[in-house]
């Protein structure tokens, strides 16, 4: 009776490994190190997700693991397709390379707030996450620093983790701020407590 669970676990291990490979290949493509998108790998991962989705997964742990991988795959598919559309339309997208530090202006940037946003569920607010990443990249380039030191998909994971941690205290949203201070970029997050819809009283 334990055999199906073992098979599911093995399939999940394959799915996780293939998804990591797909992420790496897309990063290489958008960085210019692959001539075309990794359609073959994406097809394999998509077929595996569909196959597992049709199967009965009895173990709670396996179901949770599969749901997590399935959500991750769907999020990245949407992200990759956005990147491809942006490239075809000739505009910067989530994978656009930031301007090299050597091209940054010599003078120190003025102290200012660059970008502020609030997030309740990053996976459903990817437009905000994408804009925040781009504004953070631009600010770091302006300050003569390297671009954001993590790939976009890692940035999404970091933001998702941070929102989950800060919301665990009872907050409904987390505020993120990108700012310039003394020629350096500051990126901060804080929980918004007692957030109400407009018109409600505290």
Q: Tell me the per-residue pLDDT of 48-92, one tens digit each, with 9 for 90 and over.
A: 999 999 888 778 888 888 888 888 888 888 888 888 888 888 776
- Mean pLDDT to the nearest integer, 166-170: 83
Cα separation, 148 vs 133, whole angstroms: 8
> Given this model, what pLDDT does residue 198 score?
41
Determine the distance from the C-alpha atom of residue 164 to the mean position of all C-alpha atoms in its chain, rounded to a whole number. Answer: 14
> Given this model, what pLDDT does residue 28 score?
85
More confident residue, 111 or 4: 111
Helix pair angle (152-167, 60-88), 10° resolution? 130
> Given this model, what pLDDT does residue 200 score?
44
Question: Cβ distance 189 to 119 under 8 Å?
Answer: no
- Mean pLDDT to the nearest integer, 144-168: 81
The pTM of the full predicted model, rounded to 2 decimals, is 0.52
Q: How confident is the model at residue 175 (pLDDT cuts 50, 70, 90)?
A: very high
Task: Please provide the average confidence, as pLDDT, over all residues in the chain.
Answer: 80
> Given this model, what pLDDT does residue 85 score?
85
Neighbour-count burial for 61-99, b at 16+ CB within 10 Å, e otherwise: ebeebbeebbebbebbbebbebbbebbeeeeebbbbebe
Candidates 171, 112, 83, 99; CA nearest to 140 is 99
> Given this model, what pLDDT does residue 104 score?
43
């Amino acid at each position: 009776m334990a055999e199906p669970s073992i098979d599911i676990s093995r399939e999940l291990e394959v799915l996780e490994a293939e998804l990591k490979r797909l992420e790496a290949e897309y990063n290489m493509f958008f960085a210019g190190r692959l001539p075309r998108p990794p359609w073959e790998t994406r097809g394999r991962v998509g077929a595996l997700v569909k196959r597992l989705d049709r199967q009965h997964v009895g173990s709670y742990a396996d179901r949770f693991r599969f749901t997590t991988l399935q959500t991750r795959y769907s999020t990245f598919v949407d992200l990759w397709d956005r990147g491809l559309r942006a490239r075809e339309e000739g505009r910067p997208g989530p994978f656009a390379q930031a301007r090299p530090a050597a091209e940054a202006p010599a003078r120190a940037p003025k102290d200012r707030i660059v970008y502020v946003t609030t997030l309740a569920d990053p996976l459903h607010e990817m437009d905000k996450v994408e804009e925040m990443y781009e504004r953070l990249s631009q600010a770091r380039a302006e300050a003569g620093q390297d671009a954001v030191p993590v790939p976009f998909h890692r940035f999404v994971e970091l933001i998702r983790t941070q929102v989950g941690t800060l919301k665990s205290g009872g907050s409904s949203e987390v505020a993120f701020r990108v700012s310039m201070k003394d020629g350096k970029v500051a990126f901060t997050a804080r929980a918004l407590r007692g957030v109400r819809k407009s018109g409600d009283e505290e």
